[in-house]
Amino acid sequence: MDNKLFDKTIEHVIKYLNESIFFEKYTKSEGLLQSLESRVKIISLVIFIVGSVLSKHILTLLIFNAIALLLAYLSNIPMYQYLKRVYVFIPIFAGLIAIPVMFNIMTPGKDLIVLLNNPHISITYEGVKYAITFTLRVATCVSFAVLIPITTQWNKVTSAMHKLGIPEVVITITNLAYRYIFLLLNFILDMMYSRKSRAIKKLGMVESWKEAGKAIGALFIKTYQMGEETYYAMLSRGYTGEIKHIYMEKITSKDILFLAFSIIITAILVLFDRGVV
Amino acid sequence: MHIPDGYLGPITCAFFYLIMIPIWYKGIKELKKLDPRKLPLLGVLTAFAFLVMMFNLPVPDGTTAHMVGGTLIAILMDNPWVATIAISIVLVIQAIFFGDGGITCIGANCFNMGVVLPFVGYYVYKFLRNKVGEVIASGIGAYVGIVTAAICAGFEFGLQPFIEPGYCPYPFTVSVPAMAIAHLLTAGPAAAVVTAIVVWYVRKVRPDLFTSKEQQVSGVNA
C-alpha cells in the first residue's frame, strides 16, 4: 500500500542513518584532516567557507574548490563518494533556482543565445556568468562543510566547541540530543513499519497528517518519559548538574602551520577576488 | 526553509549572527532558571525537535513537506525559549552533520525557525487559547508561525539583490510571495493539522503532564 507519509519518512530516516554511518567510517581513517586538532580543523574549514562566500569570481571559487578536493584527497576520502555527496542535490537545486537568471529579463547584457526575437528573449553572457558563480559558490561551501563531519567524530566536534567557549549546558544538551536522535530514529522506523503493515487502504492527505500527528504525539510522550529516566540514570551515576568534558587533544606545530596556511591562502584569494592583489 | 551556504551574502550572515548572540544568551539564561532535572529532558526534547522534521507530510502540490516543530515544543513546554534553544541546537547539528542548511547561515536559520516561528506561534496560541480552545489555537499558532517564518526567509532572500548582488538573485517581489504562498498552501496547513493533533493526543493520553507547572518537572512517573 503506497503512502507517502510512511514511505518517504522511512526513506528519510534511513538516509540519515546511512549518512552518519558513512561519515563515522572515514573519521577513523588515517589522513591529513583526521590528524589535525579538532578546534584548528573546524576553524580552518569555517575560514575557507567564509572565504568562498566572500568570493565573487568564478576563478577564485574554482581555486577554493580545488583546495577542498585536495584536502579531501589528502584525508583519504574516496573521491567518487565525496564528489557524489558534494555535487549532487544541493548544488543541483541551486542550479535550478539560478536558471531564470540566465535570461535577459532577469539579467540584461550581451546576448549569448537568442531564443525569441519579438519580444526579445535571450540567454545573456552576464546571466550565465551569474548563474554559474552562484551555483559554484554553493557547491564550494558544501565541499568544505562536508569535510567537518567526514573527518571528525561528533563528540570531538562538541568538545572542541566547548573549548571554543560555547556554554557547558548547551554542549550537554547537544550531546544528549545527538545520542537520542539515533535511538529515536529507530523508534520512528519501527513505528512507521508497524503502522504501514496495518494499512489496508491508501490514506488521504489530511488523514496522513492526522496519522503523523498521533505518531508525533506518541513520540513526545516517549521522549518525555525518556528525559525523566535519563535524569535518574545520570543521577545514580553521580550527576551533579554539571558534566566535565575530557579534552585530550593538544595543538601541535603542525596544527598552527595548517591554520596559518588556511588564513593566508583565504586572505590572498579574497584579496585577489576583489582585485587588490 | 533551511537556507544553504551561498544564498545569503556575508553582511546578511554576519548580521544574523550578531542578532542571535544576545537571543542565545538570553535563552541560555532562561534555561538555567529551570530545574537541573530538566536538562536531560531538554536533551531528549532537542532530539524530538530533530525527529519532528523527519516526518514527511504529503502536501497538495504532490510533494512532501516537513514541519519545524518550534511552535509545538513552545506549546507543549509552555515556554518559547525552550523551543529557541532546542531548534537552534537542531539546526547546528543539521548544518554540521547532515548538510541541511549552511554553516554561514546558521544565524539566519536560527532567527527564522528558532525565534520567529516559535514566538509568533506560541503567542498566537496563547492569545487564542481561551477563545477557541487549545487544540484549535495550537493549530492556528503553528500555521501563523510557519508562514511568518517563511516570509522572514523570503525577505532575507529578497534583500540580497539590493545590498549584496551576486547571491540570491530574486528581489522581494518574487521571493516573498514565493516563500509565503508555498507555506500558506502546503507546509502551513500540514503543520497546523499535525500540531493540533499532537496537542489533542498528548492532552488526551497524558493529561497529567500538563496539570501543573510542578508536575511538568517531576510528575512523569506519578
Res B81: pLDDT:
92
How many Cβ atoms sit within 10 Å of the Cβ of residue A113?
Answer: 12
Is residue A141 domain-shared with residue A254, that is, in the same domain?
Answer: yes
Average pLDDT, chain A: 86
Res A52: pLDDT:
93
The vertex-B171 CA angle with B115 and B87, nearest 5°, equals 15
SS3 A208: helix
Which residues 118-157 of B have a C-beta within 8 angstroms of A?
Answer: none
Is B3 part of a structural domain of the chain? no
pLDDT at A44 over 90: yes
A208: pLDDT confidence band, cut at 50, 70 and 90? Answer: confident
ipTM here: 0.86
Which grid coordinates are listed for A216?
Answer: 508525533
Span A54-113, pLDDT tens digits: 998 999 999 999 999 999 999 988 888 888 878 877 777 888 888 888 887 777 777 777
Span A158-174, pLDDT tens digits: 889 888 888 888 888 88
Residues of A in contact with B32 (CB under 8 A): 169
pLDDT at B220 over 50: no
* Percentage above 90 pLDDT, chain B: 39
Q: Which residue has the higher pLDDT, A218 or A90?
A: A218
Is B85 part of a structural domain of the chain? yes
User: Counting Cβ atoms within 10 Å, is residue A95 exposed (0-12), middle (13-18) or buried (19+)?
Assistant: middle
CB contact under 8 A, B95 and A145: yes
Res A230: pLDDT:
84
Res B80: pLDDT:
92
Is B88 part of a structural domain of the chain? yes
Residues of A in contact with B51 (CB under 8 A): 181, 184-185, 188, 219
Is residue A114 domain-shared with residue A235, that is, in the same domain?
Answer: no
Is B5 part of a structural domain of the chain? no
Res B222: pLDDT:
41
Residue of A nearest to B7 (CA): A138
Q: How far is A256 from chain B (nearest CA, A)?
A: 23
Residues of A in contact with B169 (CB under 8 A): 98, 100-101, 106-107, 130, 134
Is B1 part of a structural domain of the chain? no
pLDDT at A17 over 90: no
Is residue A48 domain-shared with residue A184, that is, in the same domain?
Answer: no
Q: Which residue has the cell 566572500?
A: A54
Is A133 at the interface with chain B, CB within 8 A?
yes
Q: How far is A261 from chain B (nearest CA, A)?
A: 21
Q: What is the DSSP letter of A103?
A: B
> In this complex, which of B10, B46, B55 lies closest to A177 when CB atoms are compared?
B46
A vs B, Cβ pairs < 8 A, gives 240
Is B84 at the interface with chain A, CB within 8 A?
no
Residues of A in contact with B95 (CB under 8 A): 145
Q: What is the DSSP letter of B96?
A: I
Is residue A211 domain-shared with residue A224, that is, in the same domain?
Answer: yes
Res B221: pLDDT:
47
Q: In sequence order, what DSSP letters do the residues of B132-143 get, joined into one string?
A: H-HHHHHHHHHH
Is A178 at the interface with chain B, CB within 8 A?
yes
Is B62 at the interface with chain A, CB within 8 A?
no
Is residue A172 domain-shared with residue A120, that is, in the same domain?
Answer: no
**Domain span at residue A159?**
1-28+153-246
CB contact under 8 A, B56 and A106: no
**Mutation target vs A (from B23, B25, B48, B87; most A CBs, 10 A cutoff):** B48
Domain count within chain A: 2
Is residue A41 domain-shared with residue A134, that is, in the same domain?
Answer: yes
CB contact under 8 A, B166 and A212: no
Average pLDDT over residues A1-7: 76
Res B26: pLDDT:
93
Res A121: pLDDT:
82
Which residues 8-37 of B have a C-beta within 8 angstroms of A?
Answer: 9-10, 13, 28, 31-32, 36-37
CA distance B198 to B3: 27
Res B1: pLDDT:
83
Is residue A75 domain-shared with residue A107, that is, in the same domain?
Answer: yes
CB contact under 8 A, A134 and B102: no
**Domain span at residue B162?**
10-221
Q: Which residue has the higher pLDDT, A111 or B202?
A: B202
Q: How far is A68 from chain B (nearest CA, A)?
A: 15
> In this complex, which of B57, B166, B202 lies closest to A208 when CB atoms are compared?
B57
Is residue A275 domain-shared with residue A145, that is, in the same domain?
Answer: yes
Is residue A262 domain-shared with residue A236, that is, in the same domain?
Answer: no
CA distance A68 to A137: 12
Is residue A23 domain-shared with residue A84, that is, in the same domain?
Answer: no
CB contact under 8 A, A227 and B190: no
Is residue A1 domain-shared with residue A47, that is, in the same domain?
Answer: no
| Alpha-carbon dihedral sign for residues A153, A154, A159, A165 | positive
Is B179 at the interface with chain A, CB within 8 A?
no
pLDDT at B84 over 80: yes
Domain count within chain B: 1
pLDDT at B155 over 50: yes
Residues 6+ apart with CB under 8 A from B46: A173, A174, A176, A177, B85, B86, B89, B90
Is A177 at the interface with chain B, CB within 8 A?
yes
pLDDT at A50 over 70: yes
Residues 6+ apart with CB under 8 A from B68: B1, B52, B53, B87, B113, B117, B146, B149, B191
- pTM value is 0.88
Element holding A179 (H helix, E strand): helix A168-197
CB contact under 8 A, B44 and A23: no
Res A1: pLDDT:
54
Span A224-274, pLDDT tens digits: 888 888 888 888 988 877 777 777 788 888 999 999 999 999 999 999 988
> In this complex, which of A172, A216, A231 lies closest to B198 when CB atoms are compared?
A216
User: What b/e readout covers B193-209, taking b as 16+ CB neighbours within 10 angstroms?
Assistant: bbbbbbbbbbbeebeeb
Is residue A7 domain-shared with residue A123, that is, in the same domain?
Answer: no
Q: How far is A110 from chain B (nearest CA, A)?
A: 18
CA distance B208 to A153: 40
Residue of A nearest to B2 (CA): A90
User: Counting Cβ atoms within 10 Å, is residue A111 exposed (0-12), middle (13-18) or buried (19+)?
Assistant: middle
Which residues 215-234 of A have a C-beta within 8 angstroms of B?
Answer: 215-221, 223-228, 230-231, 234
**Mutation target vs A (from B2, B53, B55; most A CBs, 10 A cutoff):** B55
Would you put residue B62 in left (φ > 0), alpha (ψ -120 to 50) or beta? left
Q: How far is B114 from chain A (nearest CA, A)?
A: 15
